[in-house]
Amino acid sequence: MKALFAAIDRSIELFVAAIFMAMVVIGSWQVFSRFVLNFTPSWSEEVQIFGHIWLVFLTIPIAYRRGAHITVEAIRRIMSPWMSKGLDVLIELLWVGFAIATAYYSYRVSLVTRNSVSPGLEIPMSYPYYGMILGSVYLLFVVIRRFAGELPTPDPDELPPEATRL
Amino acid sequence: MITFLLTSLLGVMLLGIPILISIALIGFVGMAMLPDVVMPLFAQKMFGQLDSFTLLAMPYFILAGSIMTAGGISKQLVDFARALVGHFRAGLAHASVVGSMVMSGVSGSSTADASAIASILIPTMKQSGYKPGFAAALIATAGTMGAIIPPSMTMVVYGAIAQVSIGGLFLGGIIPGILIGIALMITIKLYTYHPAYPELRQVTARFDLCALWRSVSSAWSGLLAPLIIVGGILSGVFTATEAGAVACVYAFLVGYFVEKKITLSKVPDILVDAAITTSMVSGIIAVSGPMGWVLSYLQFDGMVLSYVSTLSTSPTMILFILAGVMIVLGTFVDSLIVLLVFAPVAVSVTKTYGLDPFQVGLVMVICNQIGAVSPPTAPLLFITTSIAKTPIDQTNRHVWTFMLAETLVLMLVILIPGLSSWIPNYFLK
């Protein structure tokens, strides 16, 4: 089971890397195409925007898994261990709530937007929302694994400092 | 209701709930409390917040910075800075400022700047007798140039929310960014006269033109990157977002073919690491969509503006008040949140008082960065202090002088609009 979970995690990471790579290639192609071929593709901006949305919602769970989300730790440091443990449970429950709310409401919006077509790519406007749904489902999957003790709670002090904020 | 939402936000964030979840929670609760709101708007507003081409500049510059850092550019840029100003009195301190300045042209992130420069220079500074708190405070403050000298993630966030040209903000940041560097170097110079800092009066190196040339030839790829980005935007060849994509390709080509420090097997992990940093910031921007919508529905910006108008009608005074409020809030709350909450207020101020949008944008970004080094909630100080392995009190004791220098530059930016608006208005019109 552990190997399967690890394979899923790695597949999602590679998928995110592929999206990011495609965004960069298309963004550079846009400049090259405009200046060298005198032609601006109508779809390139939209692909990058939708790619960014997929990338963000698929990577929120990866960042969660690695404990990279920005948190103010000042008060936690002076909490008693049981209060800190209670706060951890509350935080996990809020993540579950966020994942369910995002998945459910994105699905509701996608039902409405699937009939409208994006101007550049000419695809249903529900497609970017599918990234939000997929990302939220994966987030739920990861949070449940942490609840079940399959994933350790990361120590915020062990994070690389450059990976924490702007 | 606004007071309830904003105090709740402050409360849950200070409690230690991740900022992304805190903002999403307040946005969700706010929407649920409003009558006649259909809740799928929660997802739609998150989508709407990311449905922006200009915002794409952020992941691109994050990735370009990651690729260049993986190629070892930080060390080369610091060597260049040491060869350039290392022969001054307090040469290492001056080199940390110049190093941050040139690094700013590559990374676009104050955190990346501060951690890269601190991890290279603080051990050497400590060996040379520098007080660790002094070194940590100086490098943290110098790191703020990362968000002011182009490219800048903070400007991308502000520009995308406030609908201000990001290319223009980038160009507007050149003069204030350089002024901050000069102000910090003057502060170091003043420290050299202080009897308690004899280590700053030492001259540890001699100027060597050959060494400078060697460092330039080694760091050329990093030094050229900001010229390509700024030059491309100035000449209208590409937008800020496209500049980010081009910077990624440039960084990869240099790292792979010229420096040969990046292998294809490393690429997926570099992309994933950059995606994580992106999601942490873009995720917060996305969830600020519902909260921002609730605040705007409740006319938060109008309320702040009408209150501020009762204090003064002078545009300059209004900017001073806005800056003061942002800095004070930034000392207690994460400065990204302050920026997200106050960006719509800044837009209203700009329109109502006929201010230059680039000047207001720069004031917002500089305040945001001063907030990031003002204790007790000062992430940049935490990073450099942990690298310096010194008590945070020691860093806090020194940071005020450097913050004062940066605040003086902020006051100049408020009093002289041309410092931030001349370059963008001249080249982008």
Q: What is the pLDDT of residue A153?
A: 67
Count Cβ atoms within 10 A of the Cβ of residue B376 and give its class: 0-12 exposed, 13-18 middle, 19 or more buried: exposed
Count Cβ atoms within 10 A of the Cβ of residue A80 and give its class: 0-12 exposed, 13-18 middle, 19 or more buried: exposed
Q: How far apart are CA B382 and CA A164, in angstroms?
A: 11
CB B164 within 8 A of CB B116: no
CB A62 within 8 A of CB A139: no
Partner residue facing B18 (CB), from A48, A71, A166? A71
Q: What is the pLDDT of residue A128?
A: 93
Residue of B189 and B35 predicted with greater confidence: B189
Q: How far apart are CA A49 and CA A16, in angstroms?
A: 14
**How distant, in Å, are the alpha carbons of B2, B31, B237, B358, B421 from that of B34?**
12, 5, 46, 35, 40
Q: What is the pLDDT of residue B281?
A: 84
CB B339 within 8 A of CB B363: no
Q: What is the pLDDT of residue A154?
A: 64
Q: What is the pLDDT of residue A162?
A: 42
Q: What is the mean pLDDT of residues B46-74?
A: 87
Q: What is the pLDDT of residue B160?
A: 87
State whether ipTM is beyond 0.85.
yes
Q: What is the pLDDT of residue A155?
A: 58
Percent pLDDT > 70 in chain A is: 91
Is any Cβ of chain A less than 8 angstroms from the Cβ of B277? Answer: yes
**How distant, in Å, are the alpha carbons of A82, B48, B172, B388 from that of A150?**
21, 35, 49, 35
Q: What digits encode the pLDDT tens for the residues B102-158?
A: 988 888 888 888 888 888 899 888 988 999 999 999 999 999 999 999 989 899 989
Which of 216-245 (B) contact A at CB < 8 A? Answer: 237-238, 241-242, 244-245
8 Å CB contact of A63 and B286: no
Average pLDDT value for chain B? 88
8 Å CB contact of A129 and B47: yes
B181-190, B216-225, B400-409: lowest mean pLDDT where?
Answer: B216-225
The yes-or-no verdict on residue B45 having pLDDT over 70 is: yes
Residue type, B340: L
Beta-carbon contacts of B287 under 8 Å, excluding residues fewer than 6 positions away, are B20, B23, B24, B27, B46
CB A150 within 8 A of CB A143: no
The yes-or-no verdict on residue B50 having pLDDT over 50 is: yes
Q: What is the mean pLDDT of residues B154-164?
A: 89
Q: In chain A, whose CA is at the least distance from the CA of B115?
A: A162
Q: What digits encode the pLDDT tens for the residues B266-278?
A: 899 999 999 998 8
Q: Which residues of A touch B271 (CB under 8 A)?
A: 16-17, 20-21
B145-159, B164-178, B334-348: lowest mean pLDDT where?
Answer: B334-348
Percent pLDDT > 70 in chain B is: 100
Confirm whether pTM is higher than 0.90.
Answer: no
Q: How far apart are CA A106 and CA A89, in angstroms?
A: 26
What is the band of B221 on the pLDDT scale with cuts at 50, 70, 90? Answer: confident
Which of 114-173 (B) contact A at CB < 8 A? Answer: 115-116, 147, 153-154, 157
DSSP B4-36: HHHHHHHHHHHHT--HHHHHHHHHHHHHHHSTT
Q: How far apart are CA B287 and CA A27, in angstroms?
A: 25
Percent pLDDT > 90 in chain B is: 37
> In this structure, is the dihedral angle defined by the CA atoms of residues B373, A157, A58 and B113, taken in order, positive or negative?
positive
- pLDDT < 70 positions in chain A: 74, 153-166
Is any Cβ of chain A less than 8 angstroms from the Cβ of B346? Answer: no
CB count within 10 Å of CB B378 equals: 25
The yes-or-no verdict on residue B428 having pLDDT over 80 is: no
Radius of gyration of chain A (CA): 19
The yes-or-no verdict on residue B334 having pLDDT over 80 is: no
Q: What digits encode the pLDDT tens for the residues B61-83?
A: 889 888 888 887 888 888 888 88
